[in-house]
Amino acid sequence: MILDPSADDRLDRAFMALADPVRRGIIARLSRGPATVNELAEPFAITKQAVSKHIQVLESAGLVTRTRDAQRRPVHLDAATLEALTAWIDRYRLIHEQQFRALDALLAQDPGHDAAASVALDVPIEHRGDTPSAGQQTGPITKETGQ
Amino acid sequence: MTNPVTITAPEGLPFIDIEREFDVPVAAVFNAHRDPELVKQWLGPNGYEMTIERWDFVPQGGYRYLHTQPGGEEAYAFNGTFHSVRENEFAIQTFEYEGFPDVVAIESLRFEDLGGGRTRLSIHSTYPSLEARDGMIQSNMELGVREGYERLEGLLAA
Asked if pLDDT for residue A110 goes beyond 70, the answer is: no
Mean pLDDT of B46-67: 92
- pLDDT band at residue A91 under the 50/70/90 scheme: low
Three-state DSSP state, A63: coil
All structural domains of chain B with their residue ranges: 6-157
Q: Does B5 contact chain A (CB < 8 Å)?
A: yes
pLDDT of A70? 57
Q: Assess B54–A contact: CB distance below 8 Å, yes or no.
A: yes
The domain in which residue A49 lies consists of 5-82
Q: A105 lies in a domain?
A: no
How far is A26 from A69, CA to CA, in rounded Å?
A: 20
Which residues in chain A (40-79) have CB-CB distances under 8 A to chain B?
none
Average pLDDT rounded to a whole number, residues B110-135: 92
Give the residue with greater pLDDT, B103 vs B112: B112
Cβ B58 vs Cβ B83: under 8 Å? no
Mean pLDDT of A91-112: 77
Which amino acid makes up residue A133?
Answer: S
B6-157 has which fold?
Answer: Alpha-D-Glucose-1,6-Bisphosphate; Chain A, domain 4 (3.30.530)
DSSP reduced 3-state for A146: coil
Contact A95 B144 (CB under 8 A): yes
Whether the per-residue pLDDT at A136 is higher than 80: the answer is no
Question: What's the average model confidence in pLDDT over B45-73?
Answer: 88
B 112-141 residues with CB < 8 A to A: 112, 122-124, 126, 134, 137-138, 140-141
- The type of residue at B115 is G
Put simply, the chain A residues between 106 and 135 with a CB less than 8 A from any chain B CB are: 106-108, 111, 113-115, 117-118, 121, 123, 125-129, 131-134
With beta carbons less than 8 A apart as the criterion, state whether A129 and A116 touch: yes
Give me the percent of chain A exceeding a pLDDT of 70.
59
Residue A67 covered by a domain? yes
* Whole-number Å distance between alpha carbons of B88 and B97: 26
Number of independent structural domains in chain A: 1
Share the mean pLDDT of chain B: 83
SS3 B107: strand
Alpha carbons B38 and B20: distance in angstroms, whole number: 18
Selection from A65-79, B14-28, B45-59, B110-124 with the highest mean pLDDT:
B110-124
Q: CB atoms < 10 A from the CB of B136, how many?
A: 23
pLDDT band at B53 (very low <50, low <70, confident <90, very high): very high
Residues in A closer than 8 angstroms to B92, CB to CB, are 139-140
Res A84 pLDDT > 50 = yes
The answer to the question of residue A27 being in a domain is: yes
Residue B61 CB burial class (10 angstroms; 0-12, 13-18, ≥19): buried
Task: Give the nearest partner residue to B155 out of A4, A31, A114, using CB atoms.
Answer: A31
Q: Which of A27, A88, A114 sits opposite B28 (nearest CB)?
A: A114
Predicted TM-score (pTM) of this structure: 0.59
A141: DSSP letter? P
Res B112: pLDDT: 97
* CATH number (domain holding residue A51): 1.10.10.10
Per-residue confidence (pLDDT) for residue B149, from 0 to 100: 42
Q: Please tell me if residue B38 touches chain A, with a CB cutoff of 8 Å.
A: yes
Q: What is the pLDDT at residue A43?
A: 86
Average pLDDT over residues B89-104: 92
Lowest mean pLDDT, pick from A136-145, B41-50, B118-127 = A136-145
